[in-house]
A and B are shown apart, each in its own frame.
Chain A
Amino acid sequence: MDLYKSTAHELHDKLVNKEISSVELTKALYERIDAVEDQVKAYVTLDKENALAQAAKVDAMIAAGEKIAPLAGIPGAIKDNICTKGLLTTCSSKMLANVVPIYDAHVIKKLRAEETIFLGKTNMDEFAMGSTTESSYFQATHNPWNLDRVPGGSSGGSAAAIAAGEAIWTLGSDTGGSIRQPASFNGCVGIKPTYGRVSRYGCVAFASSLDQIGPITRDVTDAATVLNTICGKDEHDSTSLPVEVPDFTKALRQDVKGLRIGLPKEYYGEGLDPKVHAELKKAIAQYEAMGAEIVEISLPHTEYAVITYYIIAPAEASANLARYDGVRYGFRAANATSAPEMTTLSRTEGFGAEVKRRIMLGTYVLSSGYYDAYYKKAMQVRTLIRRDFDSAFEKCDVILAPTSPVVAYPIDGKMDPLSIYMLDVYTIPVNMAGLPGISVPCGFADGMPVGMQLIGKPLDEETVLRAAYTFEQANEYHKVLAPLGGNK
């Protein structure tokens, strides 16, 4: 089997047994990138020289008989909103197109400590605002299952890179579904951990109270492996939780006997593509056959989640993105004649349309006289959404839902922003409540992957992983390769 198609846990064994070298593996990945990147466009930046040097270092460690960490010498890629010291971190925006961070994000530090390899930085929707990766300033990423379709977003580059064999593992970030939805569109595994599980330090903020970093991988085992490395309290992030991090790979047992799986009735109604629904029904039947108990639950405030999200997230974003003013770093407009004009022009020319739309939305809802009607009310609804989940989890251990109501759609810009916003209806409530959620492949509709979402109680990634692993191992979906088809 080609090395680039392998999983991290398979490759780790091969490295340790000296069947392959990390340099060999890393070169194989760059060869694959050279072969398909023109069609996929998953990357913004490649870092071949440093990656190969790091691979050689790991090979030397193995040769010296040192014990290596599970991700050591395994080539991965990082979403371009996670700061990598010395390597461009652009958020796929003209605004930050020239920004080389002076520090590493906390997760990058942890990954470096494990001697892993960074192939490069992956494409995304500008500042993580979008669900298609079309709003990238540089390029649209194409879905390896059908190059005419979107890879989802905002972590579209990270998911497409996995599907196309351009990386073994990747990191994404998820504010309203940005890991799970592209994972679902690309037939990958993507997990958004509990809010606070992973430090946000060095993850360029979109909406601070919702953002969370997580892995996108080929299988659940790799997801657990990456989680093991990146989770944990960080003193540089006040919102990171001071809790023990379990060994997530220990949760990977094929066992759902007696597991109470909740099906929120609001998630299976109007808007859900019947073909997607059909795949989920099969998965539910399979769980039942494996001994799980299926229970119907209700999340009554679901219908308010998207509109509430589009108040809270833009409000936070309007402040988070205020720092991009052309003064200290990043894009600065030429020809300004005063300081205020320099800021205005830099922001006018440096941000794309979707980012500007959300900044304006956020600025509006926080304005004097509107705060109570919008932001304050949205925060109250957020509490109600969280309570919905609290009550639901009295009846079940894990919630099973679609990740997206549809499969990946064509790259043609025909969808209006509001329709695209509404497609995040199953992922957004999970961010609003800060819960862990995973998307695992569960079938195909019209030849495109369908993702199943499993949502857990706060800090209960282990149950989520176990349920996902049990399903994965009973099926072959994660072994089907993206054909790189389509007319492109």
Chain B
Amino acid sequence: MKKYTTVIGLEVHAELKTNSKAFCSCSTEFGGEPNTHVCPVCLGMPGALPVLNKQVVEFAIRAGLALNCDIQKFNKFDRKNYFYPDLSKNYQISQFDQPICLGGHIDIEVEGGKKRIGVTRIHMEEDAGKLNHSGATISTSDSSAVDYNRAGVPLIEIVSEPDMRSSEEARAYLEQLKAILEYTDVCDCKMQEGSLRCDANISVMPEGAAEFGTRAEIKNLNSFRALVRAIEYEVERQIDLVESGGHVVQETRTWDDAQGMTLSMRSKEEAHDYRYFPEPDLVPVELDDAWIERVKNELPELPAQRQQRLMTENGLPAYDAGLIVATKAMADYFDAACKNAGDDKAVANWLLGDVSAYLNNEGIEIDAFPIKPENLGEMVALIKGGVLSSKLAKKVFAEMLKADKSPKVLVKELGLEQVSDEGAIAAIVDEVLAENPQSIADFKAGKDRAIGFLVGQVMKKSRGKANPGMVNKLLVEKMQ
């Protein structure tokens, strides 16, 4: 079989975190009873007119600058025409030929270093409402109800260059993009709530070919897992097609997560003619340098800068720092926990170990994690100060998950203070040595394993509280 190169470009829709909708003053809050965050404008009532929310432009500029784009000063909106019941005006206010941002990039970590992925454009537009079908799909349902709470919520669409060559690169790009949007506070990036959505353009070509193959656009990728699985499925489907003498057709496909496959939605011939034209109800917005400059100056620390800071100031290895900064809330947690921990590397280990395992198990994000960062920090400090053993710390950790108590209080309540009193430990050491003469003989015969066994016995008798370093030292002293 020939070798193939995969070519991937992503189109990401991010809902902006403005308080009110893009063209009216309705709330953007997620959830809420159906059709409670609506007004004549977002319901498309006769005679209603849109008025641009300036915050939308501000957020688009901020995202654009964070993604290294050129901000376009002249901004107009266009109407994208298509009929669908969730689109209250049956046209979407969007930007067509003159998007607000052009020509940016994101650097991702790949095997063997960094890779730069181009960002073609970012444009502003409004979201549609949501259909709730009585059955599985619109065509198989007896009835569908429409909720327009989401109609008119502002979005930015971020279009990448076809620069990714594997599902892993696509994943890394989306992770990095998500982190940047979180850091700049323009989107809450909750894929499960639909505030960050992704479509992928995928094609394959024989290795070394000059021209890309025909692409398929895959919609409905609502998680990182879905993105990776869909790309892998689609690449295999396309290669199989080509190998068996067929050819890929340009079409829109949807990812069916339950079946684990992509399904054809509509061909190029059936594609909508959106009949874009300039939106006559809105006047063009001219951005001045002062506005762009102010947003630039107010840009917060971005993931790459923060990763660097965690490496130089906190002494973390690049890999660990990268994992922690991938989620802004995780990085904030790390900073807060380090304040009283006295051992930043240990905090990182806890976060990437037990904490991450817990989050994965529970399926929650760090902002819903029950242990406060100062308590985790305090626990690390207790370990570092020799008050708590690493082993018993697991017990404290488990208790903190159950109740909001400080580790100091828990150590006392549970009687878990590490014993570092030499006299008390020496008594237990004597007891253990008296019970295990054979081990003493082994030790003296040069069998190093014996010491491990003896330390274990002492720890057992002390119910894990004896300071292991001190136990080791006393055993050696007493046997020589």
Q: Which of the candidate stretches A9-17, A21-29, A298-306, A367-375 sits at the interface with the other chain?
A: A367-375
Q: Given A339-B144, A363-B275, does the pair A83, B280 have CB atoms closer than 8 Å?
A: no
Q: Given A325-B83, A339-B85, does the pair A89, B49 have CB atoms closer than 8 Å?
A: no
B81 touches A366 (CB 8 A): yes
Residue B241 CB within 8 A of the other chain: no
Indicate with 1 or 0, residue by residue over A338-373, a CB within 8 angstroms of chain B CB atoms.
Answer: 111001000000000000000000010011100100
B45 touches A203 (CB 8 A): no
Q: Which B257-308 residues sit within 8 Å CB-CB of chain A?
A: 273, 275-277, 280-283
A209 touches B138 (CB 8 A): no
- Given the complex, which residues of B lie within 8 Å of A327, measured CB to CB? 85, 146
- Given the complex, which residues of A lie within 8 Å of B40, measured CB to CB? 101-103
A359 to chain B, nearest CB (A): 11
A319 touches B91 (CB 8 A): yes
B45 touches A238 (CB 8 A): no
A325 touches B52 (CB 8 A): no
Task: List the B residue with the shortest CB-CB distance to A325.
Answer: B90
Residue B79 CB within 8 A of the other chain: yes
**Alpha-carbon distance between A203 and B47 when the two chains are bound, in angstroms:** 5
Q: Which B22-48 residues sit within 8 Å CB-CB of chain A?
A: 40, 43-48
B50 touches A322 (CB 8 A): no
**Alpha-carbon distance between A284 and B282 when the two chains are bound, in angstroms:** 40
B280 touches A323 (CB 8 A): no
Q: Given A83-B47, A322-B89, A323-B44, does the pair A239, B283 have CB atoms closer than 8 Å?
A: yes
Residue A204 CB within 8 A of the other chain: yes
**Alpha-carbon distance between A205 and B79 when the two chains are bound, in angstroms:** 15
B280 touches A208 (CB 8 A): yes
Residue B88 CB within 8 A of the other chain: yes
- Given the complex, which residues of A lie within 8 Å of B280, measured CB to CB? 207-209, 239, 316
Residue A459 CB within 8 A of the other chain: no
**Alpha-carbon distance between A257 and B283 when the two chains are bound, in angstroms:** 39
**Alpha-carbon distance between A329 and B50 when the two chains are bound, in angstroms:** 19
B46 touches A200 (CB 8 A): no
**Alpha-carbon distance between A56 and B45 when the two chains are bound, in angstroms:** 32
- Given the complex, which residues of A lie within 8 Å of B44, measured CB to CB? 323, 328
Task: List the A residue with the shortest CB-CB distance to B86.
Answer: A327
B47 touches A319 (CB 8 A): no
B45 touches A102 (CB 8 A): yes
B46 touches A238 (CB 8 A): no
A322 touches B83 (CB 8 A): yes
B83 touches A101 (CB 8 A): no
Residue A202 CB within 8 A of the other chain: yes
Indicate with 1 or 0, residue by residue over A82-120, a CB within 8 angstroms of chain B CB atoms.
Answer: 110000010100001001011101000000000000000
Task: List the A residue with the shortest CB-CB distance to B51.
Answer: A238
B49 touches A236 (CB 8 A): yes
B277 touches A238 (CB 8 A): no
B47 touches A238 (CB 8 A): no
Residue A201 CB within 8 A of the other chain: yes
**Alpha-carbon distance between A415 and B46 when the two chains are bound, in angstroms:** 31
- Among A91, A208, A236, A339, contact of B46 (Cβ-Cβ < 8 Å): A91
B88 touches A323 (CB 8 A): yes
**Alpha-carbon distance between A209 and B46 when the two chains are bound, in angstroms:** 16
**Alpha-carbon distance between A323 and B52 when the two chains are bound, in angstroms:** 20
Q: Given A202-B47, A323-B44, A366-B81, does the pair A375, B282 have CB atoms closer than 8 Å?
A: no
A366 touches B45 (CB 8 A): no
- Among A91, A204, A235, A325, contact of B51 (Cβ-Cβ < 8 Å): A235
Residue B192 CB within 8 A of the other chain: no
**Alpha-carbon distance between A83 and B277 when the two chains are bound, in angstroms:** 26
B47 touches A105 (CB 8 A): yes
- Given the complex, which residues of B lie within 8 Å of A340, measured CB to CB? 83
Q: Which A321-337 residues sit within 8 Å CB-CB of chain B?
A: 322-323, 325, 327-329
B277 touches A371 (CB 8 A): yes
**Alpha-carbon distance between A105 and B46 when the two chains are bound, in angstroms:** 10
- Given the complex, which residues of B lie within 8 Å of A319, measured CB to CB? 79, 81, 89-91, 275, 277
Residue A124 CB within 8 A of the other chain: no
Enumerate 21 A-B pairs (CB-CB under 8 Å) in ascending A order.
A83-B47, A204-B46, A208-B280, A238-B281, A315-B277, A319-B89, A319-B277, A323-B46, A323-B88, A325-B83, A325-B85, A327-B85, A327-B146, A328-B43, A328-B146, A329-B45, A338-B138, A339-B138, A343-B83, A371-B275, A371-B276
> A236-B49, A325-B83, A328-B43 provided; 14 other pairs, C-beta below 8 A?
A83-B45, A207-B280, A238-B50, A238-B52, A319-B81, A319-B90, A319-B91, A323-B46, A323-B89, A339-B144, A343-B83, A343-B85, A366-B276, A371-B276
User: 8 nearest interchain CB pairs?
Assistant: A322-B90, A366-B275, A208-B280, A209-B280, A204-B46, A202-B47, A323-B44, A204-B47
